[in-house]
Amino acid sequence: MEKSFEGSNIKGKDNFIRLGGLALIAGLLIHVILNSVLKVMPPVDPTSSQLKDYLLSEAETWGIVHGFRYIAFVCVVLFAAALFSRTCLTNKSKAIGWGIVGLLGAAIWVTNGIITNGVEIIVFHDIEFLSTRPDLFSLLYRLTRVLFTAELVTWSIVIFGFCLAGLQSKSIPKWLIVLGLLQSLTGIFTGGFIVSVIKGGWAIIFADVAAIVGLAWFICMGIFMLIRGSQQKPLASK
């Protein structure tokens, strides 16, 4: 009876980790579709008439973008909880401290995303008023760019925490840990030179690297979790 309960518990944990991997992949798909397919960026230094035309034409699309982002946030929460389960609640691991760092990073990530979403929703809340204030629109738009750079830093916290937890518990392949640490270094460096990033200066290169490597790490981690579940022999542990 006890063995049956233990087996059921392991199976439930395995399914939860696989669900977390699937949720991450789904969240990334939502992110890519929203930002690369549906979104149309505003014109640079628009006049009042150009701004009004843009806001009116894109209001419905951005409404979809803002709504589906909340689904992506739920996916991030499921992923973080599942990865914490894999890296910190196995093999009597002592990596819980680093796992908590990863969870806190995920919490900050979601909070930052909710704030970004809220700022963009405000833009479309009163089109008639905002279209007469291109200066205010530009200020809000620059604010979202600041928040996007902050998001790269939160990615770094998530990835750094879970990579070190996975290293201690030997629950993540070494190549994923190396890839994650590369993203962490570039992401944190990007945050330190955020002014250069916003102005399109030399640090934008590091922001691009942090974004590309971060997306690659999340995709690989999602697939890894989906395939391996709670199994503790990584695909590339040798």
- At 2-20, the pLDDT tens digits run 444 344 556 778 889 999 9
**Relative orientation angle of helices 134-169 and 174-192, to the nearest 10 degrees:** 150
Least trusted range by pLDDT, from 54-68, 75-89, 173-187: 54-68
In this prediction, residue 4 carries a pLDDT of 46
Q: Which of 217, 108, 207 is nearest to 159 (CA)?
A: 217
**Rounded to whole angstroms, how far apart are CA atoms 4 and 182?**
42
Tokens of 9: 């518990």
Q: Are 237 and 174 in contact (CB under 8 A)?
A: yes
pLDDT number for residue 71: 93
* Nearest C-alpha neighbor of 152 from the set 195, 101, 215: 215
Cα dihedral value 60, 61, 63, 67, nearest 10? 140
**Range in 34-48, 163-177, 179-193 with the lowest mean pLDDT:** 34-48
Please tell me whether residue 218 adopts helix, strand or coil conformation.
Answer: helix
* Mean pLDDT, range 174-193, rounded to an integer: 93
Q: Three-state DSSP class for 131?
A: coil
For the ranges 11-15, 57-61, 186-190, the maximum mean pLDDT occurs at 186-190
> For 140-154, what is each residue's pLDDT tens digit?
888 888 888 899 999
Q: Rounded to whole angstroms, how far apart are CA atoms 235 and 91?
A: 17
